[in-house]
Amino acid sequence: MSELSGVTVVVTRPAHQAEKLCQLIEAAGARALRFPVIDIQPPENPQQCQAQLTQLADYDLAIFVSANAVNATMAMLKKPQAWPMALPLAAVGKATAQALIKKGLPAPQVAPEPFNSEALLSLPELQKLDGKRILIFRGNSGRELLRNCLRERGAQVDYFECYQRAIPKSDTRPLYAAWDQVQAKPGTMPIVVTSNQGLQNLVSMIDKEHQPTLFASPLVVISERMVSLSARLGFSQAPVVAMAANDDAVLVALKTWAKSRIRAEKIL
């Protein structure tokens, strides 16, 4: 029997990205409760994006920070061959790299584990960048670390903000009903959250009556930065941090949480 048998796991990934993780969770014997906390929407300034697409050949490197950035950008191209195939590519994570390859683009440089901006910046090719022009494909806002470090290394860096993140109108009733069912066993419904903005959105989406239950819930996150944010927001338990942002790593982290809970129950 799996450590996760009978557990309900709240999955907060955007609706179009949640299914693989949900299937993995369900295959492990748990229930996946889908509760998206981020919605991916078209860019705020599509005209600016179209203008930037005509200047791609002027850059020395294109960096994609997410699969959403890949899909949103490729959807804006009037025809696939509009992408300059000689433009080198880099991807922050494996899923992003796979998304690029699926779109018919050359295999990119990929950040090593744990597949984040810091790891990408460790690549030898990104150490000396004097005079290089780099375009970062991302959503609206986000971390400035990547651009700031590349600029310090001599590059001229621009953003291509190809989508917006918004708070979705997710139905809270199934989540509240699931929480009501486990009131006798608080802290037994882990919540998977994969970004700082997702964590902030989650808190804003829960009404005052259910916020005590939310803040007592165990979290599975993908970075130490999210651990710090969860404490500032009011979560009482230290989250379990997945080794990477991909679905397999999140599943391993969920099993780690489940084993710890089983051990704690045996002690009690």
Tens of pLDDT along 230-267? 999 999 999 999 998 889 999 999 999 999 887 777 66
Quick one: what percent of the chain has pLDDT higher than 70?
97
For residues 141 and 47, state if they share a domain: yes
pLDDT score of 222 more than 70: yes
For residues 175 and 235, state if they share a domain: yes
Q: What per-residue confidence (pLDDT) applies to 262? A: 78
The residue whose two tokens read 């993995």 is 24
Residue that is last in its domain, among 166, 181, 212 = 166
Q: What per-residue confidence (pLDDT) applies to 114? A: 84
For residues 67 and 105, state if they share a domain: yes
Q: What per-residue confidence (pLDDT) applies to 217? A: 96
Mean pLDDT calculated for residue range 169-188: 90
Per-residue pLDDT tens digits for 86-116: 999 999 989 999 999 999 999 999 999 888 9
For residues 49 and 152, state if they share a domain: yes
For residues 52 and 158, state if they share a domain: yes
List the single range of 70-84, 195-209, 219-233 with lowest mean pLDDT. Answer: 70-84
**Other CB atoms closer than 10 Å to residue 143's CB: what's the count?**
13
Residue that is last in its domain, among 151, 166, 181 = 166
For residues 162 and 49, state if they share a domain: yes
Rounded CA-CA distance 121/61 in Å is 13
For residues 200 and 101, state if they share a domain: no
Mean pLDDT calculated for residue range 172-198: 91
Residue 3 within any structural domain of the chain: no
Torsion angles phi and psi, residue 186, rounded to 5: -60, 150
Residue 101 within any structural domain of the chain: yes
Q: Number of C-alpha atoms within 13 angstroms, CB side, residue 9?
A: 31
Task: Determine the structural domain holding residue 82 and report its residue range.
Answer: 41-166
Mean pLDDT calculated for residue range 36-47: 95
Residue 191 within any structural domain of the chain: yes
Residue 1 within any structural domain of the chain: no
| CATH number of residue 136's parent domain | 3.40.50.10090
pTM above 0.85, yes or no: yes
